[in-house]
Amino acid sequence: MNSKRYSFNDVNAEIRLHLNESPLPPPKHVVEYVTEVIQYGNLYVNSKLFAEFRELLAGYVGVDVAEVFPYAGGDAALRAIFYTIVEVGDEVLLLNPTYSMFDIFTSNRGLKKVEVNLRECGDWWCLDYTDLILMAEDADLVVIDDPNNPTGSPVLRGDPKLISELAGVVKGFILIDETYFEFSGYTAVPLIRDYPNIIVVRSLSKAFSLAGFRLGYVVGSPEVIDVLSSTYTPFDIPLPSLAAGVAALKNSTYVSTAVDTIKRNRDLMLQGLRKLGVRSYNSLTNFILVRDSRDLRDLLLKHGIAIKAIDNGLYRVSVGSEEQCGKLLKILGDGV
């Protein structure tokens, strides 16, 4: 069996701008609570801690506890959906381009892939919504990352009318990946009660600066959550990760500061790239998609900066600290 795999060869780079990580470390109160609980690492996770994390997630999202369920990372949440609510041979509608794991899950699950293409339109990437609606009619699962990775562009924008139309025509489910919700500010969550075939996935990796703790969650109708959580236990998420999630959600005020900082650095980097003549697209995320005829990955790697090569001269560059962004711009300006 030829299984697709996530293509990842980590690089020994001083500056990591290839994985859309936060340039800011977890805040002190998160680190302190994790340090406090790991002394009990000889024991299985207390189910009360899992329940507390779930309750805090519900409060943060603004839904009932029965409408949210945590996982060990956003990818685990996505995997649960692909391996639970669709069957071998079902049709999956994906965006092109999109997050690579969607294609991997589709292939390994034995699903039929159909794609609707995003296209360049000025400084954004756009989608023909008429095509999306038409192609969704036969799909068992429609998968939309919004904002989109790797383009950074909005897709549905949380538009109730558009999402309602889509939910009404698709014969199966709509999975909306809102990994970058804190940066975009819009969401489809309010529609889950009107349309139980809408499932939203989010992560605490980006805006919460908790990528290494692997925390994600699903938001959906109680019936969907019940099915998706049927094979999971309170012990699936490691103790340090649960502690980090609880501490972060109990005092999440740092998130807005982190988001504002990253947005400011993103805008400075975008302006700098354009001054250098590098084709750069607008973004509602913590990364910028650029197009260049040079091998930017190798050029920057020589100077200790890792970025993500996409395809056909496209590169995804995570937004780092102001200092890191400045170094990247200087290197590209020198061109050596």
Asked whether residue 89 carries a pLDDT value surpassing 70, the answer given is yes
Same domain membership, residue 246 and residue 122: yes
Answer whether residue 8 is part of any domain: no
Same domain membership, residue 305 and residue 227: no
Same domain membership, residue 68 and residue 85: yes
What are the DSSP calls for 69-131, one per residue? EEESSHHHHHHHHHTTS--TT-EEEEEES--HHHHHHHHHTTPEEEEEEEEEETTEEEE-HHH
Largest CA distance in the chain: 57
Q: What is the pLDDT of residue 10?
A: 64
Answer whether residue 321 is part of any domain: yes
Structural domain boundaries, residue 151: 28-250
Same domain membership, residue 272 and residue 242: no
Question: What pLDDT, in 10s, does the model give residues 135-183?
Answer: 999 999 999 999 999 999 999 999 999 999 999 999 999 999 999 999 9
Same domain membership, residue 49 and residue 171: yes
Span 71-91, average pLDDT: 97
Answer whether residue 59 is part of any domain: yes
Same domain membership, residue 226 and residue 182: yes
Question: CATH no. for residue 301?
Answer: 3.90.1150.10
Please, which pLDDT band fits residue 234 given cuts at 50, 70 and 90?
Answer: confident
Structure tokens at 236: 């699936």
What are the DSSP calls for 204-255, one per residue? SSSTTS-GGG--EEEE--HHHHHHHTTT--TTSS-HHHHHHHHHHHHT-HHH
Same domain membership, residue 177 and residue 54: yes
Please, which pLDDT band fits residue 5 given cuts at 50, 70 and 90?
Answer: low
Same domain membership, residue 112 and residue 54: yes
Three-state DSSP state, 21: coil
Give the domain-ending residue among 200, 225, 250.
250
Answer whether residue 9 is part of any domain: no
Give the domain-ending residue among 250, 280, 303.
250
Same domain membership, residue 199 and residue 133: yes
Count of domains for the chain: 2
Same domain membership, residue 132 and residue 151: yes
Same domain membership, residue 296 and residue 241: no
Q: pTM for the complete prediction? A: 0.95
Lookup result for tokens 């170094």: 327
